């Protein structure tokens, strides 16, 4: 299977510049994210959600475009982001960048991070742009560049993460474990421009605020 990348834009993100966004084979707007996609100069290939936070004007624009619309009931058990990720996975996408926000609704921010790290999307390579922060869901290996001295946090989700080793951080880990109920991985610092994190088992959220 060839690599296919999806950009998933949720409702309420900060005004991210298009230059900051990766190129994508598929642009998916989550409910009100359709309006944010328009502000970013993007035309969604797919809009998913209950459409309760999309203006009449935006719906009219979508109707004139080639955007597919997958509408769901307002009363439902899944969030719109869960529905969007399920649709993306079904379309054979291999990696996803979620554009979201932590502003104003900490419950939504936490839920989005945990949803992104769910084992349901274990076959997807998932990362997030959260306002001015970056986050990655790591099950095997991650390499990224960051300014020396910048903060990086490693947070286990869904249970303990084991076999964790890092390089490029001030306080390295070598074949160690982190549980979801401890803060040892929080507020590490970049000591070299290139950072590498490997995980033997479980799932880590690696967050660069």
3-state secondary structure 122-173: CCCEEEEEECCEEEEEECCEEEEECCCCCEEEEEEEEEEEEEEEEECECCCC
Of 38, 35, 45, the closest CA to residue 5 belongs to 45
Report how far residue 196's alpha carbon sits from residue 150's, in angstroms, rounded to the nearest whole number: 15
**What is the average pLDDT across 153-168?**
97
Q: What is the pLDDT of residues 50-86, one digit of tens each?
A: 888 787 777 777 778 888 989 888 888 889 999 999 9
Question: Token digits for 121?
Answer: 């999307």
Contact between residue 135 and residue 209 where contact means Cβ atoms under 8 Å apart: no
Q: Among 131, 166, 199, give the residue marking a domain's end.
A: 131
Q: What local confidence, expressed as pLDDT, does residue 104 receive?
A: 72
| Angle in degrees, CA 97, 102, 108, rounded to 5 | 85
Q: What is the pLDDT of residues 85-117, one digit of tens each?
A: 999 999 999 999 999 988 777 888 899 999 999
Q: Are residues 80 and 175 located together in one domain of the fold?
A: no
N-to-C CA span, the chain: 33
Report how far residue 7's alpha carbon sits from residue 5's, in angstroms, rounded to the nearest whole number: 7
Q: Are residues 89 and 167 located together in one domain of the fold?
A: no
Contact between residue 148 and residue 192 where contact means Cβ atoms under 8 Å apart: yes
User: Which domain, by its residues, includes 20?
Assistant: 5-131
Q: Are residues 114 and 146 located together in one domain of the fold?
A: no
Q: Are residues 197 and 162 located together in one domain of the fold?
A: yes
Q: Are residues 149 and 172 located together in one domain of the fold?
A: yes
Q: How many CB atoms lie within 10 A of CB 20?
A: 11
Q: What local confidence, expressed as pLDDT, does residue 96 receive?
A: 97
Q: Are residues 81 and 151 located together in one domain of the fold?
A: no
Please state, rounded to an integer, the average pLDDT across all residues of the chain: 91
Long-range contacts of 173-179 (CB under 8 A, 24+ apart): 175/200, 178/154, 178/204
Helix (H) or strand (E) holding 28: strand 26-30
Q: CATH number, domain at 57?
A: 3.40.50.10240
Q: Among 98, 131, 164, give the residue marking a domain's end.
A: 131
44 domain residue, yes or no: yes
Q: Assess whether pLDDT exceeds 60 at residue 1.
A: no
Report how far residue 46's alpha carbon sits from residue 179's, in angstroms, rounded to the nearest whole number: 37
191 domain residue, yes or no: yes
Number of domains in the chain: 2
99 domain residue, yes or no: yes
Q: How many CB atoms lie within 10 A of CB 104?
A: 8
Q: Are residues 97 and 20 located together in one domain of the fold?
A: yes
Percentage of residues in the chain having pLDDT higher than 90: 63
Contact between residue 70 and residue 83 where contact means Cβ atoms under 8 Å apart: yes
Q: Are residues 123 and 191 located together in one domain of the fold?
A: no
The residues, any chain, with a CB within 8 Å of residue 191's CB and separated by 6 or more, are 148, 168, 169, 170
Q: What local confidence, expressed as pLDDT, does residue 99 receive?
A: 93
**What is the average pLDDT across 5-14?**
85
121 domain residue, yes or no: yes
Q: What local confidence, expressed as pLDDT, does residue 131 receive?
A: 86
Q: Are residues 113 and 145 located together in one domain of the fold?
A: no
Q: Are residues 110 and 191 located together in one domain of the fold?
A: no
Q: Among 105, 131, 157, give the residue marking a domain's end.
A: 131
Q: What local confidence, expressed as pLDDT, does residue 13 receive?
A: 62
Q: What local confidence, expressed as pLDDT, does residue 37 receive?
A: 87
Q: CATH number, domain at 189?
A: 2.60.120.320
136 domain residue, yes or no: no
pTM: 0.92
Q: Are residues 24 and 90 located together in one domain of the fold?
A: yes
Q: Assess whether pLDDT exceeds 80 at residue 175.
A: yes
Q: What local confidence, expressed as pLDDT, does residue 14 receive?
A: 61
Q: Are residues 19 and 120 located together in one domain of the fold?
A: yes
Mark residue 149 as left, alpha or beta (left: phi above 0; alpha: psi -120 to 50; beta: remaining).
left
């Amino acid at each position: 299977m060839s690599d296919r990348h999806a950009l998933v834009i949720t409702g309420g993100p900060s005004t991210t510049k298009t230059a900051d966004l990766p190129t994508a084979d598929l642009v998916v707007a989550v409910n009100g994210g359709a309006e944010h996609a328009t502000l970013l100069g993007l035309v969604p290939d797919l809009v998913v959600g209950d459409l309760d936070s999309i203006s009449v004007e935006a719906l009219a624009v979508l109707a004139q475009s080639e955007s597919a619309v997958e509408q769901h009931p307002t009363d439902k058990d899944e969030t719109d982001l869960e529905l969007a990720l399920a649709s993306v996975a079904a379309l054979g996408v291999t990696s996803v960048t979620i554009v979201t926000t932590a502003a104003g609704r900490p419950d939504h921010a936490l839920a989005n991070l945990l949803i992104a790290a769910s084992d349901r999307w274990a076959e997807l390579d998932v990362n997030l742009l959260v306002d001015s922060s970056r986050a990655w869901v790591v099950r095997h290996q991650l390499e990224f560049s960051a300014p020396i001295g910048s903060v990086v946090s490693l947070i286990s989700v869904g249970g303990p993460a084991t076999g964790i080793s890092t390089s490029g951080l001030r306080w390295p880990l070598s074949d160690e474990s982190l549980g979801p109920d401890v803060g040892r991985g929080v507020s590490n610092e970049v000591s070299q421009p290139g950072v590498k994190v490997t995980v033997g088992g479980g799932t880590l959220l690696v967050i660069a605020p």
